[in-house]
């Protein structure tokens, strides 16, 4: 019913004023805030208090702070990084298992593929095919290029997510990929046979997207993630 009474913490007021200016567009991405010693005068607070406010804004991803002359706080706008970061923290804290991640990802990538198949335009397809061909090259160039292959493979997944034009799909997938990479890297497939299979999946998936066959795209994507995850699970047991 009621919210907690407003805490009269000075720095919080400073945070709100600046945040509001950014969210409402009075401050635009790239704009530079006055120097700390100026701002402290304008807000009539001490420098320490002002700095606590800036720390909070930085943590929210709204500003970026650089040192040196001509340094200072520049406005970053609002991006998806914070969603990814907080989701990542949640994953680590809740000790979300590889299996949980995989299960979620199967559904997510399926939905993404289905939507992408409906919305892909020529430009999307050009970029996807370029990535696909790059991945194929890396695969053909032998074991030394397998890391590049895996990186490119991830880029393909991300590009497909971008094709949905929906920032939610993009940032959630980003966060998931990042977390899998960071915490389960050692289980990633380093097996040539499997990588070839993965590559074949991608070829088929992109073909389905090009044909705007959304249910087929969903099916392929789900099967792809499922196989990939099963392999990782097997690695883990070893």
Q: C-beta of 232: minimal distance to a second copy in Å?
A: 16
Q: C-beta of 64: minimal distance to DNA in Å?
A: 10
Q: Which of 17, 34, 100, 192 contacts a second copy by CB under 8 A?
A: 100
Q: Which of 4, 5, 93, 122 contacts a second copy by CB under 8 A?
A: 93
Q: Which of 90, 140, 194, 211 contacts a second copy by CB under 8 A?
A: 90
CA distance 96 to 88: 10
Q: Which of 3, 37, 94, 238 contacts a second copy by CB under 8 A?
A: 94
Do 14 and 43 meet the contact criterion of CB atoms below 8 Å apart?
yes
Structure tokens at 133: 């061909």
Count Cβ neighbours within 10 Å for each residue of 105-139 and write b for 16 or more, e otherwise.
Answer: bbebbbbbbbbbbeebeeebeebbeebbebbbebb
Q: C-beta of 32: minimal distance to DNA in Å?
A: 9
Q: Which of 13, 55, 183, 235 contacts a second copy by CB under 8 A?
A: 55
Q: Which of 67, 93, 186, 237 contacts DNA by CB under 7 A?
A: 67
CA distance 57 to 73: 10
Q: Quick one: what does residue 203 bind among a second copy, DNA, none, with the CB cut-off 5 to 8 Å set by partner type?
A: none
C-alpha distances out from residue 161 to 14, 58, 111, 113, 208, Å: 37, 27, 10, 8, 15
Of residues 192, 181, 163, 165, the one with CA closest to residue 105: 181
Q: Which of residues 27-56 bind DNA (CB under 7 A)?
A: 33, 35-37, 44-49, 51-52, 54
Q: Which of 16, 17, 23, 140 contacts a second copy by CB under 8 A?
A: 23
CA distance 141 to 139: 6
The smaller minimum CB distance to DNA, of residues 68 and 143, is found at 68
C-alpha distances out from residue 62 to 31, 224, 228, Å: 11, 37, 36
Residues near a second copy, by CB under 8 A: 11, 22-23, 48, 51-52, 55-56, 59-61, 77-80, 82-83, 85-87, 89-96, 100-101, 103-104, 106-108, 110-111, 114-115, 164, 166-169, 171-172
């Amino acid at each position: 019913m009621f919210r907690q009474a407003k805490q009269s913490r000075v720095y919080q007021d400073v945070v709100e004023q600046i945040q509001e200016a950014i969210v409402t567009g009075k401050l635009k991405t790239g704009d530079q805030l006055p120097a700390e010693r100026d701002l402290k005068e304008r807000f009539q607070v001490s420098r320490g208090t002002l700095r606590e406010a800036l720390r909070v804004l930085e943590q929210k991803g709204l500003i970026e702070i650089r040192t040196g002359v001509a340094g200072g706080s520049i406005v970053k706008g609002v991006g998806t990084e914070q969603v990814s970061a907080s989701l990542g923290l949640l994953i680590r804290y809740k000790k979300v298992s590889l299996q949980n991640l995989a299960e979620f990802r199967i559904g997510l990538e399926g939905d993404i593929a289905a939507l992408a198949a409906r919305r892909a335009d020529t430009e999307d397809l050009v970029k996807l095919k370029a990535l696909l061909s790059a991945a194929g090259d890396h695969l053909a160039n032998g074991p030394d290029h397998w890391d590049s292959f895996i990186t490119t493979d991830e880029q393909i997944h991300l590009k497909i997510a971008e094709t949905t034009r929906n920032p939610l799909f993009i940032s959630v997938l980003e966060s998931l990929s990042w977390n899998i990479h960071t915490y389960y890297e050692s289980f990633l497939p380093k097996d040539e046979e499997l990588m070839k299979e993965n590559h074949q999946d991608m070829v088929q998936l992109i073909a389905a997207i090009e044909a705007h066959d959304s249910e087929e795209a969903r099916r392929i994507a789900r099967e792809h993630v499922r196989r990939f995850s099963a392999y990782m699970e097997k690695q883990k047991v070893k």
